[in-house]
Structures are given as C-alpha cells and as structure tokens.
C-alpha cells in the first residue's frame, strides 16, 4: 500500500497502532510516498531494498517489526510467543548485516518481551520497548547535536556523506543533528554533501532534508572531496556510522574512508556522530565487521537505466571501515569521545 | 547527421575527406553512433558537450576542425585565409579550457598553415599538419604503452579513472595504452575502473573499450577507491592527464586527486601517462591551470533524470590538480619521467 503526500512533514518512521508507516526513501526526492508495513516480509523487504535506511532508523524499524510479527503470527500460548520472538529476531535481525543497531534493537525488544507471561503481555512489552527505543533515539540525536555544536563551534563549512539525518533516525539525525543544532542556535552553516553513489543518498536524501529545513547545501561528486578541501570549501567532515568497534574503527557508507583519508591529507578534522547503539564493543577492531555486498546492478545502473555495457562486473561493498587513527572524535549522546578510543569507548559504556 | 552501427570497430576520430567523423561518446555504451562534423559550430559543440573527449582526442578534433573551418569559410585570398586561421584558433581553441592539447594542436596547425601562399596551400598545409598530429598521437600512445609496460612489470591489479584509452586519443590510449601493451605482451592484467561521476566515463567508456578488447575489468564507485586499496585489489593507479605544469602538477578528471591521496595513504604507486603535447611548460605550477566548471545539471541529473531536489546547487569542477608530490612517475613517449619533475620535464623538452 502506498499513498502520495504533498510536502507536509511526515516522520521517517512511525507506529500507527497496527502497522509501521515509513517514508519510502527509494522514491525521494521525486515523490514523498508513505508506505505501510504490516507483515514481517514487508518489513524485511523495506529494510533490504533501503526504503528505510540509516543505522538508527533500521534499528527502530526492526524493533517495531517484532510487534508486527507478533500480530501477524498470533502465537496461541506463551511458549509459542517466546519461540516467535526468537524467530523474529533471526529473520528481521539479518535483513542487513552491517549496521549493528538492527541486531541490537531486535535483541533488546526480545529481552524486554520474553519475560511476559501471556502472548498479550509479550506483545505489550515488545511494543513498549520499541517505543522506548524510538524515544531514546530522538533524545540521543538531540544530545549528539548539542555535543557536536559545542565541538564544532566556529566552524561553518561542513562536509558530509550519505545521509545521517532525519531520514536515518527517529530524531533529527546524528551527523545532520549537529548541523540542525548549529542552525537552531542561529549559527551560520553551509553543507557540502557528496552525492554518495551508487544509491545517491547524498543528493536524493541529504540535499532534500537540508533544503526542506532551509539550510544552505551544495551537492558535490564523491570524487571531488579532495579538490573541495584543497579549495578551502570544507573546514570539517562529519558522518554517521553503521557500526563502531571497541577501538573506534568505524563502518559507514562506502566512500567514507576515502573522505577520511583526504581529510587527514588536507589537515581537516574528521568526525563521526553516532549513538551508543551503533557501537559493537564485542569487536576488537573494524577487521571483524561484516561488509554487505550489494547487487552489482546498483552500480551498473543509475535510476534504473544501464550505465555500463551488458555483462560488466562490479564491486559493490555498501560500506567501508575507517580506522580509528583517521577519526578526530566520535560524538555520542554521552559526550565527545576522543583518542585513544579504546579507553574513551570503554569509559562511555561503564 | 548520425547513423548507428553494430559492434564493428570504428576509430574514435577520423578524417573523411571533407568532414570529421567521430564516435558520439555521449551515447555509449548503449549506442555506437558515428556523427559527422562539417562545420565549425558542430566541431565546437561536439567538443563542448563531450561527444569527443580526452585531451589528445580533442586536440586531434580541434586540428581537423581548422580544416573544416577553412572549407566552410572559403577565404578568397591569402590575407583572408590567414585571418581565418587566427579566428579558427580562437573559436575552436576555446571550446574547453583545461586540456592544453586543444590549444596546442590548433596553434600547431596554424603555425604550419600560415606560411602557405594561397588559400588552397593554407588548407593543404593545415590538413597535412592535422594528419601528422594524428599519426604522432598514435605513435606516442604506442611508445607510452611500451614504456608503461616496462615500468609496471609484474603488476597485474591496476586501477584507472575516467577514460584515457582508445576513445580519448587517436591511438590505443595513454593510461589504457599501458594496459593494452601489457595484454598484447601476454601479461595478466585486471583493471578496476572508477565510474567517474558525473558523466560516467569510467563505466560508459573505459568498461566498454576494455571489454571490447577482452580485458578483465571491474567497475567500482569513485568513493570505493580507499577500500579497494585497503582490500588489496589495487597494486598501482594509472591515469591520463589534461594538462601538466612544468613542475609535474597534473590536471585530470575530477576525482583523480582523491585517488592519488588514497594511493599515497595506501602506499601504492600513482602514475600519470600522457604525451608531451599535454605538458604546458609555460606554467610554473598547477595553481595556474584553469579548471573548467561544468553545468550544475550534470551532477543534479543522471542520464537525464533528476537525482536531487529542484533548485539544489552543485559544485561541478570537471578537473582537479594532483600535486607532483603525489605522483610516482609520468609516463611519456620519450620515457618515464621521475621526480624531481622540474628537472626531468625540462630535460624531456630539451
């Protein structure tokens, strides 16, 4: 089911009593279409095909997906309900492999709901926990924004990659939360956004939501990062994250590492903004992060039209891993973490 | 005028007695269409809209364009013919600003033709010089290929950017000439090509011509350079050039600098392959190279379809400048130039 809307603001993801409503981000910016997810299959499909994307947002979608799954499968007794929870964690939690928030959120909902003593209680506890995750994500975004605003005081020319904004979270975003916080405080800010091939989340999503918020934004090609920095167009880079290891190594949208290397070369600070739910402290380093490979057609086509000869093979990692040594600081809801990250991350989790 | 052809091989640019024939590269790889250029306006338009592109190829096109212009304008006496030459050098030579080969080629044709004593003689001398430029470019490509093959001995995994191949020259290419020379010698070679947004010369042109030649090629997004290098998929980077200053600073397709910075970070050699006609030894450094800004719509659309919200502003330099310090060596038809480039380039021109 889908319906089109005008430009009025709609949350990226919302619970509508018996279904999830999301903006179908594959259609932006040409069409603002809200789709309803009322089965597990549609939830998994929406996450896989990136109708909803962004590590915190797919965590929220997965959490609500557990409730959708309980409603769909209607377990008849508490044993079936608990089995159902386990199944749903597996099915929804593996819709995409890299962002740890998804697995974190479904596990958290399972942990809260498994103690229920009837199927109804399990469902009520699951919903309550999913809504708590939403509220917490909103709050985290706001805190990240404020912490980033203090950290980036005096900086007006900021580059970002992909989308770590309102469309990627239940709040105003992580990396873009910092931008919104600066704008809300009346600070001047200009954003250079790299288009983020292959799926163009920079042009389609970040340019869209920043323009919608009245913030100055200039689109650039991914490869023009170095020359933008050399030309003095960038004072700091800030990106979101999909998974952060205990040493600070950060998986994020492919292209992030290239920007980080260029920022280091240009002497420009490189920030990651992410909630604690994006950290995977079970991992010693980024070497252990599984990197999702996307279908080759995502690169050999653009908006459905072929851009490469028939049969061209393509290498299509969705993410890359930026080593901690290239990261100036990680901005979280509990404050700005600084190198050595192994220490600062451990302290943040204590 | 245009006609479509099957897959049979056609030269990128050819003189057909009274007109230039070129492959319309804007239509590749979907359509192999040959267009005829028989007026100055169509020559300038073909260069500007990138129907013919690549520094050596637009030099050749400009050189032949002088003959087209003489045929079109039919100067009645030698004074008019000489005036006509001057006009044509201005009009054609400024179709695009960055590649120095264009200005070099039209000036060279003018210099050869201006000594004619009748309009017919001017035309004959112009054509003869333009054909000499073609022959020389073919020969340069072959020499660059062989010099590069020796330089890159033992290296099989090579990354390139944009298109510096058969479609960019009158021969088998500069950067890709090295690939072709390796393949012709029976060496194993695998090419990673970055798609090269916004106009996708990597996917549309390089993937096409390498596949056509039976060479293994894998497409990658521009931003995945760093992760391809980190994953051990690249042993050397080799690119063409649009203008090289006397100190070795090199203007090439936007994205090149980012690849060079990443190659340095990864400890991978970074080569430029170009004929001496691409050097502008009048320039002390790359700071003096004019960088063409392309229409913003080239980035806010992809294959004609909008990818960014209406009114999004975009920064669209066609080129960037890689400082000499990031370049391992410059492979030319007179040999491999090494740092310090100020010395090796001066010697190459002596």
Contacts of B29 in chain A (CB under 8 A): 306, 308-309
Q: Check: CB of residue B76 under 8 Å from CB of residue B119.
A: yes
Whether the per-residue pLDDT at A274 is higher than 60: the answer is yes
List C-alpha distances in Å: B252 to A20, B154, B209: 48, 26, 20
Read off the pLDDT band of A282 (50, 70, 90). Answer: very high
* C-alpha to C-alpha distance for A57 and A55, rounded to whole angstroms: 6
Please state the rounded mean pLDDT for residues B81-107.
96
CA-nearest residue to A193 within chain B is B314
Nearest to B207 among A192, A312, A316 (CB): A312
Q: Check: CB of residue A307 under 8 Å from CB of residue B204.
A: yes
Which residue in B167, B221, B231, B316 has the most chain A C-beta atoms within 10 A of its own C-beta, making it the best mutation to test that interface?
A: B221
Please state the rounded mean pLDDT for residues B323-329.
98
Contacts of A237 in chain B (CB under 8 A): none
Which residue in A160, A212, A227, A285 has the most chain B C-beta atoms within 10 A of its own C-beta, making it the best mutation to test that interface?
A: A227
Q: Please return the burial class of A156, using the count of CB atoms within 10 Å of its CB with bins 0-12, 13-18 and 19+.
A: middle
> Does residue A118 sit in the same domain as residue A255?
no
> Does residue B271 sit in the same domain as residue B165?
yes
Whether the per-residue pLDDT at B96 is higher than 60: the answer is yes
Contact A258 B258 (CB under 8 A): yes
Nearest to A203 among B200, B207, B300 (CB): B300
B242 classed as catalytic: yes
Cβ count near B322 (within 10 Å): 29
CA-nearest residue to A203 within chain B is B308
Please state the rounded mean pLDDT for residues A241-265.
98
Contacts of A316 in chain B (CB under 8 A): 221
Total beta-carbon pairs less than 8 A apart between chain A and chain B: 193
The fraction of chain B above a pLDDT of 90, given in percent, is 95
Q: In terms of DSSP bridges, do strands B13-15 and B20-23 run parallel, antiparallel, or are they unpaired?
A: antiparallel
Residue A9 C-alpha, separation from nearest chain B C-alpha, in angstroms: 16
Please state the rounded mean pLDDT for residues B30-40.
96
CATH number at residue B225: 3.40.50.10470
Task: Give the closest residue to A164 by CA, choosing from A219, A211, A108, A210.
Answer: A210
Question: What residue numbers bound the domain in which A20 lies?
Answer: 2-139
pLDDT at A8: 43
Enumerate residues 6+ apart whose C-beta is below 8 A from B39: B68, B72
Which residue in B307, B310, B317 has the most chain A C-beta atoms within 10 A of its own C-beta, making it the best mutation to test that interface?
A: B307
Please state the rounded mean pLDDT for residues B216-228.
98
> Does residue B273 sit in the same domain as residue B156?
yes
Which residue in A194, A197, A267 has the most chain B C-beta atoms within 10 A of its own C-beta, making it the best mutation to test that interface?
A: A197
Q: Is the peptide bond prior to A340 cis by the omega test (within 30 degrees of 0)?
A: yes
pLDDT mean across residues, chain B: 95
Quickly list DSSP for A45-56. HHHHTTSS-SHH
Nearest to B303 among A220, A264, A302 (CB): A302
CA-nearest residue to A30 within chain B is B309
Contacts of A305 in chain B (CB under 8 A): 303, 305
> Does residue B184 sit in the same domain as residue B306?
yes
Which of these three, B107, B139, B171, is where a domain ends?
B139
pLDDT digits (tens, 9 = 90+) for A287-302: 999 999 999 999 999 8
Read off the pLDDT band of B175 (50, 70, 90). Answer: very high
Whether the per-residue pLDDT at A3 is higher than 70: the answer is no
pLDDT at A292: 95
Read off the pLDDT band of B1 (50, 70, 90). Answer: very low
Residue A123 host element (H or E): helix A119-151
> Does residue B30 sit in the same domain as residue B121?
yes
Contact A223 B222 (CB under 8 A): yes
pLDDT digits (tens, 9 = 90+) for B247-298: 999 999 999 999 999 999 999 999 999 999 999 999 999 999 999 999 999 9
Contacts of A262 in chain B (CB under 8 A): 258, 261-262
Please state the rounded mean pLDDT for residues B92-120.
97
Which of these three, A115, A139, A163, is where a domain ends?
A139
Contacts of B259 in chain A (CB under 8 A): 223
pLDDT mean across residues, chain A: 95
> What domain count does chain A have?
2
> Does residue A122 sit in the same domain as residue A232?
no
Nearest to A221 among B197, B219, B225 (CB): B197
CATH number at residue A112: 1.20.120.420
- Residue with token string 């057609």: A297
Task: Enter the ipTM.
Answer: 0.94
pLDDT at B304: 79
Which residue in B308, B321, B322, B325 has the most chain A C-beta atoms within 10 A of its own C-beta, making it the best mutation to test that interface?
A: B308
Q: Check: CB of residue A165 under 8 Å from CB of residue A210.
A: yes
> Does residue A243 sit in the same domain as residue A133?
no
Contacts of A200 in chain B (CB under 8 A): 302, 307
Which of these three, A89, A115, A139, is where a domain ends?
A139
Whether the per-residue pLDDT at A6 is higher than 50: the answer is no
Whether the per-residue pLDDT at B188 is higher than 90: the answer is yes
Contacts of B224 in chain A (CB under 8 A): 254-255, 258, 315, 317, 320
Compute the radius of gyration of chain B from its Cα atoms: 20
Q: Please, which residues bridge with residue B22 across strands?
A: B13, B35
pLDDT at A303: 79
The catalytic residue among B24, B137, B225, B242 is: B242
> Does residue A176 sit in the same domain as residue A323?
yes
Enumerate residues 6+ apart whose C-beta is below 8 A from A115: A125
The fraction of chain B above a pLDDT of 70, given in percent, is 97
Whether the per-residue pLDDT at B232 is higher than 70: the answer is yes
> Does residue A281 sit in the same domain as residue A260?
yes
The catalytic residue among A24, A137, A242, A249 is: A242
Residue B263 C-alpha, separation from nearest chain A C-alpha, in angstroms: 10
Nearest to A261 among B262, B309, B321 (CB): B262
Contacts of A224 in chain B (CB under 8 A): 254-255, 258, 315, 317, 320
Enumerate residues 6+ apart whose C-beta is below 8 A from B79: none
Residue B226 C-alpha, separation from nearest chain A C-alpha, in angstroms: 5
* C-alpha to C-alpha distance for A333 and A335, rounded to whole angstroms: 6
pLDDT at B305: 84
> Does residue B205 sit in the same domain as residue B129?
no
> Does residue A259 sit in the same domain as residue A295?
yes
Residue B109 C-alpha, separation from nearest chain A C-alpha, in angstroms: 34
Residue B28 C-alpha, separation from nearest chain A C-alpha, in angstroms: 8
CA-nearest residue to B211 within chain A is A312
pLDDT at B302: 86
Q: Please return the burial class of B77, using the count of CB atoms within 10 Å of its CB with bins 0-12, 13-18 and 19+.
A: exposed
* C-alpha to C-alpha distance for B290 and A288, rounded to whole angstroms: 45
> Does residue B158 sit in the same domain as residue B92?
no
Contact A306 B208 (CB under 8 A): no
∠ Cα B205 B15 B130 (to 5°): 100
Contact B221 A299 (CB under 8 A): yes
Q: Look up the pTM and report it.
A: 0.95
Can you give chain B as a three-state secondary structure string? Answer: CEEECCCCCCCCEEECCCCEEEECCCCCCCCCEEEEECCHHHHHHHHHCCCCCCHHHHHHHHHHHHHHHHHHHCCCCHHHHHHHHHHHHHHHHCCCCCCHHHHHHHHHHHHHHCCCCCHHHHHHHHHHHHHHHHHHHHHHHHHHHHHHHHHCCCCCEEEEECCCEHHHCCCCECHHHHHHHHHHCCCCCEEEEECCCCCCHHHHHHHHHHHHCCCEEEEECHHHHHHHHHCCCCCEEEECCCEEECCCCEEEECCHHHHHHHHHHHCCCEEEECCHHHEECCCCCHHHCCCCECCCHHHHEECCEECCCCCCEECCECEEEECHHHCCEEEECCEEECCCHHHHHHHHHC
């Amino acid at each position: 089911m889908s319906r089109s809307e005008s430009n009025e603001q709609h949350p990226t993801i919302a619970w509508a009593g018996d279904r999830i409503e999301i903006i179908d981000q594959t259609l932006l910016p040409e069409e603002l279409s809200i789709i309803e997810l009322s089965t597990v299959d549609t939830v998994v499909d929406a996450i896989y095909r990136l109708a909803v994307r962004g590590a915190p947002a797919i965590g929220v979608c997965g959490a609500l997906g557990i409730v959708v799954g309980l409603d769909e499968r209607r377990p008849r007794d508490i044993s079936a309900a608990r089995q159902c929870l386990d199944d749903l964690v597996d099915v929804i939690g593996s819709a995409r492999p890299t962002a740890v928030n998804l697995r974190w959120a479904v596990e958290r909902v399972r942990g809260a709901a498994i103690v229920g003593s009837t199927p109804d209680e399990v469902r009520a506890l699951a919903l309550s926990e999913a809504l708590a995750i939403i509220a917490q994500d909103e709050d985290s975004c706001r805190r990240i924004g404020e912490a980033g605003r203090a950290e980036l005081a005096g900086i007006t020319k900021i580059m970002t990659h992909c989308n770590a904004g309102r469309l990627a979270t239940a709040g105003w975003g992580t990396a873009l939360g910092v931008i919104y916080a600066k704008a809300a405080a009346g600070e001047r800010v200009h954003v250079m956004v790299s288009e983020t091939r292959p799926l163009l989340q920079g042009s389609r999503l970040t340019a869209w939501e920043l323009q919608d918020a009245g913030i100055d934004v200039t689109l650039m090609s991914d490869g023009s990062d170095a020359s933008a920095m050399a030309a003095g167009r960038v004072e700091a880079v800030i990106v979101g994250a999909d998974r952060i290891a205990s040493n600070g190594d950060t998986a994020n949208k492919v292209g992030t590492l290239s920007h980080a290397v260029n920022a280091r070369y240009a002497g420009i600070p490189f920030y990651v903004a992410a909630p604690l739910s994006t950290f995977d402290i079970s991992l010693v380093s980024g070497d252990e992060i599984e990197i999702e490979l996307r279908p080759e057609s995502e690169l050999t086509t653009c908006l459905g039209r072929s851009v490469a000869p028939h049969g061209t093979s393509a290498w299509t990692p969705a993410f890359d891993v930026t080593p901690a040594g290239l990261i100036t600081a990680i901005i979280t809801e509990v404050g700005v973490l600084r190198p050595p990250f192994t220490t600062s991350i451990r302290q943040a989790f204590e």
